[in-house]
A and B are shown apart, each in its own frame.
Chain A
Amino acid sequence: MSKVDNIMDLIDVGIRAEALRQKAIANNIANLETPGYRRIDIKFEELLDRCLRSSEEFDLSEVEAQIYCPKQTPVKSNGNDVNFEAEIGQMIKNSLRHKAYIRLLSKMYKQIDLAIDIK
């Protein structure tokens, strides 16, 4: 039996993480040419995975996406490490994940709707 009994909560934290990641990507693209800027990313899947694997009880609402600075990409001559193409790729992946979450959520609502409609 999964520790997550409310799928809605799971979708909720997912959507919030995607929204935050979208902000981070927008921030990276806005600072494409800012000298000394290091790109930021969101740590969420790892945290969720760790929570779901751990044997202890946990509260899903406490699983919060974190902003961090990976500092792994090569730095350009102006001290900036944002790569435009890489950010576009992140954005496409992000929007696809977002779409999946939204679809799942609307499916859930449809099921509830169906249950209410039974006469």
Chain B
Amino acid sequence: MEVESSFGPIDVAISGLRAQGKQMKVISSNIANARTADAGNGEPYRRLQAEFETDDDLGGVKVYKIVTDMSDFLRILDPGNPMADQDGYVDMPNVSLPVEMINMNIASKMYQANVAVLKRYQQIIENTLELLR
């Protein structure tokens, strides 16, 4: 017996909140490491990207994996840096701040949208409960 199928939309909206929260975490990691020339493995930090997936039909959304962006590193001229090569260039992470900012805007708007759905659905159920007065 399905006990409470009428609360499905709440779970879906919450899954949206969780996924967008994780996306924000990934973006903040990218921004925090935008100038990390050594990520511990001798290579500069590689930009991360969260991939979303539908959590089986009408089950909401989830981040199913976080992939690393394999595009080329940014090369900057910094001869004074101890990590510079013979020509004075240093490899820097492939993070582009404008892109991260736009993604952050999208993520926060998506979060707000899910909160709006949650609030509205709560209101709808409360209206139904008004009939019970």
The interface of chain A, by Cβ under 8 A from chain B, is 45, 49, 83, 85-86, 88-89, 92-93, 96-97, 99-100, 103-104, 106-107
- Looking at the assembled complex, report how far the CB atom of B26 sits from the nearest CB atom of chain A, in whole angstroms: 15
The interface of chain B, by Cβ under 8 A from chain A, is 1, 3-4, 7, 10-11, 13-14, 17-18, 21, 118, 122, 125-126, 129, 132-133
Query: Secondary structure at chain B's binding surface: helix, strand, loop or mixed?
Result: helix
Choose from A83, A92, A97 the contact partner of B118 (Cβ within 8 Å): A92
A93 touches B1 (CB 8 A): no
A85 touches B17 (CB 8 A): yes
B132 touches A89 (CB 8 A): no
Choose from B4, B18, B118, B132 the contact partner of A86 (Cβ within 8 Å): B18
B7 touches A96 (CB 8 A): yes
Q: With a CB–CB cut-off of 8 A, which chain B residues contact A88?
A: 14, 17
A93 touches B7 (CB 8 A): yes
